A and B are shown apart, each in its own frame.
Chain A
Amino acid sequence: MNNIIEVRNLVKQFELTSKLGLQTHCVKAVNGVSFDVPEGETLGLVGESGCGKTTTGKLILRLVKPTSGEIYLEGKDINKISKKEMRRIRKDIQVVFQNPYAALDPKMTVADILSEPLSIHRIVFKYDYDKEVKRLLNLVGLSEKDAKKFPHEFSGGQRQRIGIARAIATRPKFIICDEPVSALDVSVQSQILNLLNDLQKELKVSYLFIAHGLNVIRHMSDKVGVMYLGKIVEIGRVEDIFNNPMHPYTKVLLNSAPIPDPTIIRERQAIKGEVPSPITPPSGCSFHPRCNIAMEICKNKSPELIKINEGHKAACHFCSAE
């Protein structure tokens, strides 16, 4: 299977400057992230706020320039190509944003919103815009009459459908879904998740699915990467991650999600403290201050991602032997 996106050792440092313009600190928002997204598959990225999952998405969109590392779209390094060529390639990488209330221009009708990408990337002829807009609306489960309406006339779920229609308008190969359902109500979330799955089957598009809800990640992903303080601490097929988690952080995450069944009473694994500040990350393994199996080595040495079995890797000193 071909990989649509390959990310290698991606690093992004944000420099914090004081009022006088002197560089004071440096935040490694993304710190050496590598993954592949094969054609027609979904990679889920999960982690707590500040772990760098959204920055990773922005880096792939080239909205943020990486400090180092490579991003290949079908074998082409998107950071080495010219701006002009990038503009051409942009139609292959699209994004669905978290907040559908803020992602649509309130002064544009739905037809305008959906024809804009069509005209910029010259997807269809001008006299076919209407037809194409109708096709897109049908594809995302909205009615053709909605084309003349403005975003405020829609509910959150419907707006997210418009956002998705806009993303697929350019017939992309890869869509970054940045928390596409976390602003929506539960009964509407499942509609949007099903829609994204149906579109993937129909259009053979790959997703990078960024979310913090583990249940949503499990439902959507083929592969899952768990991020903590800018690093992927565990990556593998969805069954591996959920049925056989290796990294202590993954275990804690799975353990903290509440289960909607009152008959299950769980022994909760307590986790110490909170996510440390990315400005002053801990030495060695960045999870060690909160980890319950941390030893001396964890404070001194940062673990590499170690292969556990085919396609399943974890970055922990204590999960290789078994």
Chain B
Amino acid sequence: MKGLLEIKDLKTYFYLDKQAVKAVDGVSFHINRNETLAIVGESGSGKSVTALSIMRLIETPGKIISGEIHFNNVNIAKLSSKQMTMLRGNRISMIYQDPMQSLNPAISVGEQIREALIIHKAVPRKESKKRALELMSLVSIPEAQHRYKDIQSKFSGGMRQRIMTAMAIACNPDLLIADEPTTALDVTIQSEIMDLLKSLKQQLSMSMLLITHDLGIVAENADRVIIMYCGKIMEEANVRDLFERPKHPYTIGLMKCIPRIQDNVDVLYSIPGYIPNASQYSEACRFHERCEKAMDICRQKEPELIEIEEGHKVRCWLYCNK
């Protein structure tokens, strides 16, 4: 296996009204040690479901249909829920988009941080409080001593995200999954949290799976990038290649359609049409209806994800003959 985490042909479907919604439909990728992999996609592209599948937090009506998730040479798709509980929050942990809704409103934040230590590391209670305070200062919460007993509603959004980060790194995990960690936050706070995650990643030598829709955050934080669309990987490349030589028409469109802060254009490029309904995917390429370069074959058959340069993979018929 390659690296720390390797996913092979993961399929996670949701069964609604007897229809299968193919949220994640055959996704394969790997994350190396100390690497930040970003998954970029719009809503419904399956990026969060991929993360929740790795955490094994998919609940009915959703189900992991097939695929392997190798983490540290263990296929966690096959682990029992008890074994998974030992791993979750310990070796793999996750921070969520909305810190307002992810913390317990009734328990002090200090208690919440030390919970993981008591459960996973069997740290004695006295010791765990000391450790929780250290973690709070590690994520730069001022006056940690005084704020240990405060509940989450006494903190601002950015501070709550710091607390969630402290909880996630409490057991020194190998992999940190950050699902849109800054989307709910203001710009000035956003850059602080991203800087914090970056420095923590280095200090604790973690790998990071960063899920976002903001290409600016990707450019500044990721080593490699995966572009997802409708449950499939459309392009995979290291961050420089992706921004300098994007291949897939969807990636190119995404990059062209964000307004830039440095320069102004009269008319923005926009990708025509809308994201197709997840329960009605056809055999064709899932992007063909919105693609400017669509050919006949695109309407009939879905292309494979092929490697066109070292480390640069694309799922598009345009590159299939070369």
Contact = CB atoms under 8 A, between A and B. Distances in A.
Contacts of A214: 187, 261
Contact of A256 (B156, B188, B259): B188
Interface string A237-253: 01000100000000011
A100 B190 CA distance: 25
5 contacts: A49-B157, A190-B271, A254-B261, A260-B218, A274-B158
B264 A238 contact: yes
A86 interface: no
Contacts of A252: 188
B311 interface: no
B187 A259 contact: no
Nearest to B192: A271
A188 B269 CA distance: 11
A215 B270 contact: no
Contacts of B261: 214-215, 218, 242, 254, 257, 259
B53 to A, nearest CB: 22
Interface size class of B (residues with CB under 8 A): 35 or more
B219 A261 contact: yes
Given A185-B275, A257-B187, A274-B159, A262 B253 contact: no
B269 A190 contact: yes
Given A158-B274, A186-B257, A189-B257, A194 B268 contact: yes
A123 interface: no
B158 A259 contact: no
Interface in A249-298: 252-254, 256-264, 268, 271, 274-275
Interface centre among B188, B215, B257, B274 (most CB of A within 10 A): B188
Given A257-B261, A258-B220, 10 more contacts: A158-B274, A186-B257, A190-B268, A216-B259, A256-B188, A258-B217, A259-B262, A261-B243, A263-B240, A274-B188
Interface size class of A (residues with CB under 8 A): 35 or more
Contact of B254 (A186, A215, A218): A186
B17 interface: no
Interface in B240-285: 240, 243-244, 253-255, 257-262, 264-265, 267-272, 274-275
Contact of A215 (B43, B220, B253, B260): B260
A185 to B, nearest CB: 4
B195 interface: yes
A193 B186 contact: no
A304 B187 CA distance: 25
A268 B218 CA distance: 16
Nearest to B255: A260
B42 interface: yes
Interface string B209-232: 000011111111000000000000
Q: Which 9 pairs across A and B sit closest by C-beta, in order of nearness?
A: A258-B216, A219-B259, A185-B42, A48-B186, A190-B257, A190-B270, A260-B215, A256-B191, A190-B268
Contacts of B195: 268
A281 to B, nearest CB: 15
Contacts of B52: none
B257 A257 contact: no
A302 interface: no
B5 interface: no
A145 B7 CA distance: 44
Given A212-B186, A259-B220, A268-B195, A190 B274 contact: no
A238 B263 CA distance: 11
Contacts of A48: 186-189
Contact of B259 (A157, A215, A258, A259): A215
A49 B186 contact: yes
Contact of A191 (B157, B213, B239, B270): B270
B188 A187 contact: no
Contact of B258 (A157, A190, A262): A190
Interface of B: 42-43, 156-159, 186-192, 194-195, 213-220, 239-240, 243-244, 253-255, 257-262, 264-265, 267-272, 274-275, 290
A275 B268 contact: no
B271 A187 contact: yes
A39 B188 CA distance: 33
A155 interface: yes
A109 interface: no
A268 B199 CA distance: 14
Contacts of B218: 260
A260 B258 contact: yes
B191 A186 contact: no
B226 to A, nearest CB: 15
A253 B259 contact: no
Given A258-B191, A258-B216, A186 B275 contact: no
A197 interface: yes
Contacts of A261: 219, 243
Contact of B216 (A49, A188, A189, A259): A259
A219 B264 contact: yes
A189 B158 CA distance: 26
B124 to A, nearest CB: 34
B186 to A, nearest CB: 4
A218 to B, nearest CB: 6
B235 to A, nearest CB: 15
Nearest to A155: B274
Interface centre among A155, A214, A252, A254 (most CB of B within 10 A): A155
A262 B240 contact: yes
Contacts of B186: 48-49, 212, 275
A253 B186 CA distance: 10
Interface in A215-239: 215-216, 218-219, 238
